[in-house]
Amino acid sequence: MKKLSWIFLGALAAISAGCATTTKPIVMGAGVETFTVGEKLYSTDFSDPENWVLQMSENTESDAEAIVEMGDGMMDLFMPAMGCTAWLKQKFVGPIAIVYQARCPLETIDGSDIVATDMNNFWHCSDPRNFDAVLEETETHYNGDFVSYHEMDGYYASTGGGYNTTTRFRRYPRWIDGKDIPHIALNDQDNNPEHLLVPGKWHTIQLVACDGLVQYIQDGKLVYEIKYGDKIMSEDRPDGKPVQNEAVYTREAYPPFTEGYFGFRLVRTHHQYRNLSVYQLEPR
């Protein structure tokens, strides 16, 4: 059974909100020739819980309760024994850059020995059968279990930390009708110490989608970038084991996702988020 508490984490909120800074997109890599940063479409101090949908997997490993705190400039998600996706209910259309700050806090809750582990993102995501269904939890889809998102359209990126040091980019879907399909899966930054989370440190994350140009930027470093014409790695699981093959990223094979939803993703960890903003990008 899912256990969830909404409480005011006064001490943690004060520590986090007190050091907030403004975040704006940076233009780097192929972005320099592709777009300029336009108007701000959205920003939040997380005092709007009605604008968020939290999907949490069943808690089967611990009696510890999940804790969610929103407000005072921050979203605080304590998920000691489950996976969670926090979707922003606002749909974004066209080229965008999403930028925010996040950390795995050093403070503990009720003596928890939870570790700082990987930070994950979904953006420009939708359900191919019913666009808005990513916000609607069902028994098989969008229920907090990671695999329940495998059939949606969209982009995914992660920064490794703790017991999971994978730093990856994927283009979804990974499944169609419950079966694995070839999809873009970049993992050459796994275990790279330059990109691993530092417990207690605020990391700045930037996500870009601009007509097929996709970027994942962390702390001013370009972690992953794909643009049409690039050689990429495609992953399939014909016998249940991942097999990677080199492919070319083309518009015909991988049409761009041009609208959708954004979500934070975490599993069995404690993350805090602040300074979330979304900007329109203007193609050159």
> Could you say which residues of the chain have pLDDT below 70?
1-22, 60-61, 108-112
Give pLDDT, residue 195: 95
CA-based nearest residue to 270, from 72, 125, 76, 48? 76
pLDDT of residue 4: 63
Q: What is the pLDDT of residues 149-165, one digit of tens each?
A: 999 999 999 999 999 99
pLDDT value of residue 2: 64
Q: How far apart are CA 206 and CA 24, in angstroms?
A: 9
Per-residue confidence (pLDDT) for residue 11, from 0 to 100 = 34
Residues near 268 by beta carbon (within 8 Å), at least 6 away in sequence: 61, 79, 80, 81, 82, 83, 114, 117
Residue boundaries of the structural domains of the chain: 4-283
Specify the pTM.
Answer: 0.93
Nearest of 281, 264, 257 to residue 126 by alpha carbon: 257
Whether 100 contacts 42, CB under 8 Å? no
Q: What distance in Å separates the CA atoms of residue 212 and residue 228, rounded to the nearest whole number? A: 7
Contact yes or no for 37/27 (Cβ under 8 A): yes
Q: What six digits make up the tokens of 86?
A: 């926090």
Taking alpha carbons only, the member of 134, 102, 107, 100 closest to residue 118 is: 102
- Structural class in CATH, domain 4-283: mainly beta
Coil, helix or strand at residue 241: coil
Burial class (CB in 10 A: 0-12, 13-18, 19+), 208: buried
